Every structure is written in structure tokens, then in C-alpha cells.
Amino acid sequence: MVPGISRRDKIRIDEDLLRRLHGECGGYVERMHEKLVEEEGVEVRYSTLTRIVRELGLGTRRKARCDRVPDEPGAEMQHDTSPYRIEIGGKRVGVIASLLYLRYSKRRYLRFYPSFDRFGMKCFFHEALLHWGYVAPICIIDNTNLARLRGTGKNAVIVPEMVAFSSLYGFDFFCHEVMHSNRKAGSERGFWTTETNFFPGRTFESFEDLNAQALTWATERMERRPVKPTGLIPAEAFEYERSYLLELPAYLPAPYRIHWRITDQYGYVAFDANHYWVPGTDRAEIRLLEYAEGIEIYLHREMLHRYPLPPHGTRGERFSPEGQPQPRYGPARRRKPTDREEKRLRALDDVVGSYLDFARPLTGVARHRFIRALFRLSQQLTISLFVRCLARAHRYGVKDAETVRRIAMLYLGEGLGQMPNATVDQDLESRESYQEGRLTDTPDFTSYERMLEDEDEDEENKNHG
């Protein structure tokens, strides 16, 4: 202590008073300080008040200690997901990794999805648990999981759909407490190992190749690899843990979801951007059951056919039963690509190709609509005029096909271009089809004239009314 300076006594404020003011002021300490000084006559510095509020734990949730849960054989498993961006087939894409982990034996099951929803979660658990043949009675998940409906920790309410699903396999979902994510540290560690051991040095040609390598890595390589620092080998530990786990029934129905479809006039139904032919001759409403690996088509509770799902990324293809003749016609409303139109446009001139690279939308309906509009315009103009219009559009940053058309009309109005001459067959009128058409009866338009008269009367009555 410095000589001649006496230390002031520590300020003491009634705890009940502070708790009452904290509630009245909505937890805002600055307002509490004003009320203490102005209304209660308590002289206290703001920094001192904030320290006292922190010591009392007002407005903050005290961090509870996390109990250490021992690794008991057959006690629990853990599930979690993690997003990644990896290169597949030369393209960098986003994927979702789903990992199931047995806490005691450190056994894991890993699979990747382009997107992950509740149906995907069901399919993943079905696949992983059938691979093991056994299940732990508890599955620890986090508080943002698809299986959680509301609440957190021990107060979390699980989605009834997922409760019914898990009961078929003999386990229950439990959310860990907030800020206690180490309750699923096994799955977190599994993702770290995935990032540091699975991804590095591996290439993936397709989504199917990615999951094939993930299955081999998780269920063969990692099961024989000792876990540090204990040296435990998951495959051997699982043999011991097996007697403590619940053995799954010999048969469990695979998860599925139902879609209703109307068969088009050519006998196809659309699903996931592809078309599947429906056996039979009727155009009835069919029930389509989607599974993880395929679809089944039902009509009046009778399964007509089962199709395996094509490789990920397949779009616009049509499928029919193997061993049968191909359907004569293609599906209705089938997407028509514009690759041929674009190829012909680029062959006209390098200016056209440069403009397409600049103005063409990258994907979607807008891309096809834009290319088709330019292709139609190229057939209505001479090549030199069409190229000149695109050069001007590129120069001024025009990316709209209709504006390009207006540029063409401007050039034509100024006499800088001309419309191509239409090819007319001089023998047209001598054709038999033309002669037959000349002798047909004049069409009766009286019904349409009556409709126009009725519209005129309605408009006139509206104006007078």
C-alpha cells in the first residue's frame, strides 16, 4: 500500500435489490446503474457494477460441468454430419458426410450425400445398422439434428416420425446438452480423421466412386488400424462388444417415401429429372415408392416394375424394362437440350462464339431459351447481318435476345441489311395437296363472331354503367 493513501472499503449492494433491478431493466446493466444512482442513492462505478453482476451470474447461463461418460460396451452410438467441398470428376462440389460411430469399439460407418434430409437419414441408418447387424440402445445426436423437433439436451423432443423409425431398430435418439458437444466426440474425431486421412491423396471419378472408397476405408482399413493412445483395434473390440449390443431382426423393411404420378400419353412418369416407362396401356395414376437404391411403380397395390436409380447427376434420360423392346415414342414434356443449336451458331463465326461465352446464361431454362431465340434470329437474317448485330450487342454489353432483335430491326430500317429471300416453290399450286385444299368448304366462323359481339356488348354495358 502506498503511504498516506487509505483503501476504501469494498462496496456492498444488496443482492435482492440487484436481482430486482436486473429484471426491471431487462438485463441492461447501464440502465441498472442509472436507477441505482438516481433512485436508490447508491454511488457505485459502472465497472464495479458490471463486476458484481458477473459474480452473481445475472443474465448469463452458468456453464455446468460435463460428466465423463465411461466407454461401456454396448451402451451407445453417436451420429453427426459435416459439410465438405471436394473435387469429384474434375469439378469441385459440395457434399454432406454422414458418420455413425460405436462409442466403445470405435467402429464407424461413413457415407456421402449431395444433400441430406430426414429421408436420407433414415436410409443411412438402415444401411449402416444392417452392415453391422447390431445396434446400441442409445444414439447421441446434436441439437441441430434432423431427428430433433424442438428443445435442447434432456428437454429435446424427437420428431414422432423418427421415434417410430428408431423403435423398429430398437434404439432411441438423445440430444447432448448445449455446449457439451464432446458427448459425441467420437463422431467429431471421425470427421477429423476423414479430413486428414481419407481425403488427402485420393481422387474420385464419381459420387459412386466416392462412396465405394469411403465404405472400404471406414469398414476395412480403419477397423484394422489401432486407435491411439490405447492401441484398441475396432474389429477386435466389436467382437467383444457384440454380446452387449442388440441384434437386429433377420429382416427389416427399407425406408421409402411415396410419390404420386400421372402416366403421360406415351406411358412415362417423371422422377428426379428422368423418365421411367410404365408397363401397360392405361394412363392411370400410379404410386411411386422411392428407396435409397431404386424406385418401385405400383398400380392398385400391384407392383408393375422396379427400376434401379441411375448414377448421381443423370438427367433427362428415359428408362424402360430390360429385355423388352424399347417404347416407340419418347416421354411427353421431355427436356430438349440446345447443344445442336449452340454448335451450329458457333460454326457461323468466331464473333458468335465470343458473344455466346459473354451473354449466355450458364445453366437452367434461361440458357436454353436464350440459345433458341438466337438460333431463330439467325435463320431470319443473313449471316453477315446476324454477326454484325451480335458484335454490336457484345460491344454494348447486351445480354438479352430481344434487344439483339431490335438491333437487327434498326439495321434493316437504315438499309444496312436485308432479310434473306424466301425460297418459294413455283410448282406449289400444281401439287395435288394444294388442289384438294382449294376445294374444301369455307370454315364456319359464326361462333367466333358471336363471341366478339358478346364481348363488345359487355364492354359497352360496362362503359354506360
Mean pLDDT of the chain: 82
Q: How far apart are the first and last CA of the chain?
A: 98
* Ranges 96-105, 230-239, 347-356, 409-418: which has the least confidence: 409-418
Contacts with 234 (C-beta within 8 Å, 6 or more apart), sequence order: 102, 105, 106, 107, 108, 222, 223, 224, 225, 227
Q: Which residues pair with 289 in a beta bridge?
A: 258, 296
Report pTM.
0.61
The pLDDT tens digits for 155-194 are 889 999 999 999 999 999 998 877 655 555 556 777 888 8
Nearest to 403 by CA among 339, 340, 359: 359
Work out the burial of residue 393: count CB atoms within 10 Å of its CB; fewer than 13 is exposed, 13-18 middle, 19 or more buried: buried
The predicted model gives 60-76 an average pLDDT of 62
Q: Which three cell numbers stand for residue 414?
A: 437504315
C-alpha span between 81 and 94 (Å, rounded):
13
Write down the domain spans for the chain: 15-56, 77-247, 257-319, 339-413
Percent of the chain beyond pLDDT 70?
Answer: 81
Q: Is 126 helix (H, G, I), strand (E, B) or coil?
A: helix
- For the cut 90, the answer to whether the pLDDT of residue 131 exceeds it is yes
CATH topology for the 77-247 domain: Nucleotidyltransferase; domain 5 (3.30.420)
Element (H, E) at 436: helix 432-438
* Ranges 21-30, 164-173, 434-443: which has the least confidence: 434-443
Work out the burial of residue 425: count CB atoms within 10 Å of its CB; fewer than 13 is exposed, 13-18 middle, 19 or more buried: exposed
Cβ density class 139-175: b for 16+ within 10 Å, e for less:
bbbbbebbbbeeeeeeebebbeebeebbeebbbebbb
Nearest to 384 by CA among 424, 343, 422, 420: 420
- For the cut 60, the answer to whether the pLDDT of residue 255 exceeds it is yes
The pLDDT tens digits for 335-346 are 667 888 888 999
Nearest to 78 by CA among 176, 223, 178, 221: 176
The predicted model gives 378-388 an average pLDDT of 89
* Band (10; pLDDT cuts 50, 70, 90): low
> Which 3-state string (H, E, C) describes 290-318?
ECCCEEEEEECCEEEEEEECCCCCCCCCE
- By DSSP bridging, strand 77-88 and strand 138-141 are parallel
Q: Which residues pair with 367 in a beta bridge?
A: none
The Cβ of residue 99 has, within 10 Å, a number of other Cβ atoms equal to: 26
Let me know: does 356 contact 342? Beta carbons within 8 Å. yes
Question: Residue type at 317?
Answer: E
**Cell 427399407 appears where?**
254
The pLDDT tens digits for 288-302 are 999 999 999 998 888
* Band (440; pLDDT cuts 50, 70, 90): low
